[in-house]
Chain A
């Protein structure tokens, strides 16, 4: 189990500045996810840690030692890629044993045999050892690919979108399997994905990356419930968080009020306004679809809207409600709404997030 430290790393591909001074650390035995859309720079980070790409500027250390000083054969790192790259002419057993047969390996045949069988048992592919890759299902191939990285028992495991290409049902199942197996892994894991569900389910901490910059580093709970900015808030959650442009105006007396654009609703600024740091007049109100409350009767402090679309998602329903010029997504178990119906919309105060519309940063009360 190793630690990884990334200090002020830049990466340039020709004129493209792919990573712009990123810093983070991955602790011993931690499962760290790097989450971001395609092109964010996540795979570049992984390849630099593995020594497959050069570092333009900055430092990467594994267990306190700069990787620049470690030759690639001596790196204690294993990588799992999106494409399995299993050897088609070798059996599952031989595929798993392959990494252990290199010149630098000092394992005897018996030791290799045992290691392969142990790893296969952990991944529940022990009964497939004699098969060839062509005879395996997608999920089984994925496990062999994972096994090939695990079998070396390196202290650091780098995973690059290992399940993204699987169909939804299999992907959800493999995600659960990965979470179960993580406990048995004696390794620090750095896991790259664009799928926020994988990050939330698997990671101890998540590094949210976009266009070469880190937006937030935090536990799954932190990045979901207390996103640092609009980008993080929008990235995690499906349907995406509702974002409503709003402004602040002087209310009666000394108070300030938040006014949704179009004047469709207003309510007092939470807390005393002089206690807010970074206050501004152009804000964005954010509220997640599952937190909006709908009712058919007019509540006193409610906003009124019109049902725009109703979609049955199985357990939940997605109800789109038009409020002024904005269409809100609402997730609800209640399905008895029809298009055109008038409804009352409520935003529970503890679920409302406020963001600075220009900088995107979340506004916090002191």
Chain B
């Protein structure tokens, strides 16, 4: 078990069209603590897989350093790094059975038979693969191969486990179950795990901390709660959460002594908690973006929250929840509601905004403005 540190890591790749060099990863510094489940999250092309491959030693670093524990591993080949890997290319050995594939890393290291059996049983139970142990990889579905690959990664003792979208080929029920098992394994064994995904729900559910990446750079690193409630910038705020956060451009004004956010397009004024007053003196107070999450928009009137008249654009009743798109003076806002509500298209209704939970961003830089609590 060990920590993993990246310090000022750069990685370039050649842009074939122009012959120019572009950055896959740019000045990346982050740390996965001993026993932590760190998720690298971002859209495709953000650099998360390049980062994982550099930690694994499958790709060379451009510049900077990577440490596993106390040791700088820049120059070490993958097998000298004491890591477990579950990558998209499963690399299962075709002539060996599933059982033989799973125990291969242990046999190679000379583990005693009793220990091998014990670990095999644990992995088989967790991944529910007892019925396919004697099959060959060629006879397995994509989802089954993926689980075997995951099993082979976990069966070893390693300082850190590196997983690249290990659940992507599983159907949604199996993915949910396997995700739960993975979380449990981590809770019980507390191994350092670095996990790459583009699925923000997966990241939220598994991570101790999430490192959000875009365009080769680290956007924010924090607990799921941190990145959800206090996103560092517009990219993080929009990427995490479904339905996505609502954004309104506008500026701060004072209306009869009440601090307000005035939206550009429609002129609606949203009263703000007094603690935001310090922001109104900043130069950026004229170019702001207000973010509010769909579950913070409530139907009907609340005594302590500002309310607005709106017209229903569309209401979707989706079983567990409802999604309401409401037009507030020309601005579309999406609210998360109860399902099965008797809401008609075009209906006028009142919504209340929970302004205690808004996030303000500087429109120019996209950075969030720290919440002056």
8 Å CB interface, B312-369 against A: 313-314, 316-320, 323, 325, 336, 340, 345
8 Å CB interface, B213-231 against A: 224-225, 228
**Which residues of chain B come closer than 8 Å to A225, judged between CB atoms?**
340
Which among B109-117, B118-126, B201-209 touches the partner chain?
B201-209
**Which residues of chain A come closer than 8 Å to B323, judged between CB atoms?**
172, 176
> Are A312 and B225 touching (Cβ within 8 A)?
yes
CB nearest neighbor in A for B224: A312
Q: Is the interface of A mostly helix, strand, loop or mixed?
A: mixed
A313 within 8 A of B: yes
CB nearest neighbor in A for B181: A309
Q: How many A-B residue pairs have CB under 8 A?
A: 84
Count residues on chain A whose CB falls below 8 Å from chain B CBs: 37
8 Å CB interface, B169-206 against A: 172-173, 176, 179-181, 183-184, 187, 199-201, 204-206
> Are A201 and B183 touching (Cβ within 8 A)?
no
A197-223 near B? 1/0 per residue, CB < 8 Å: 100110000000000000000001100
A240 within 8 A of B: yes
A314 within 8 A of B: yes
Q: How far is the CA of A289 from the CA of B200 in the complex (A)?
A: 21
A225-250 near B? 1/0 per residue, CB < 8 Å: 10000000000111110000000000
**Which residues of chain B come closer than 8 Å to A310, judged between CB atoms?**
183
A103 within 8 A of B: no
A278-304 near B? 1/0 per residue, CB < 8 Å: 000000000011100000000000000
Q: Which of B172, B205, B241, B316 contacts A175 (CB 8 A)?
A: B316
CB nearest neighbor in A for B207: A312
Q: How far is the CA of A201 from the CA of B315 in the complex (A)?
A: 8
**Which residues of chain B come closer than 8 Å to A175, judged between CB atoms?**
316
CB nearest neighbor in A for B323: A176
Q: A169-B244, A201-B318, A240-B173 are in contact. Are A320 and B201 (CB under 8 A)?
A: no
Q: How far is the CA of A224 from the CA of B205 in the complex (A)?
A: 26
Q: How far is the CA of A239 from the CA of B173 in the complex (A)?
A: 7
Question: Shortest distance in angstroms between B109's beta carbon and chain A's nearest beta carbon?
Answer: 31
Interface, chain B (partner A; CB < 8 A): 172-173, 176, 179-181, 183-184, 187, 199-201, 204-206, 224-225, 228, 240-244, 293, 295, 313-314, 316-320, 323, 325, 336, 340, 345
29 contacts between A and B (CB under 8 A): A169-B244, A176-B325, A179-B316, A180-B314, A183-B345, A197-B319, A200-B319, A201-B317, A201-B318, A220-B317, A221-B340, A224-B319, A237-B319, A288-B320, A289-B320, A290-B320, A308-B180, A311-B180, A311-B183, A312-B204, A312-B224, A314-B200, A314-B204, A314-B241, A314-B242, A315-B336, A318-B176, A318-B205, A339-B184
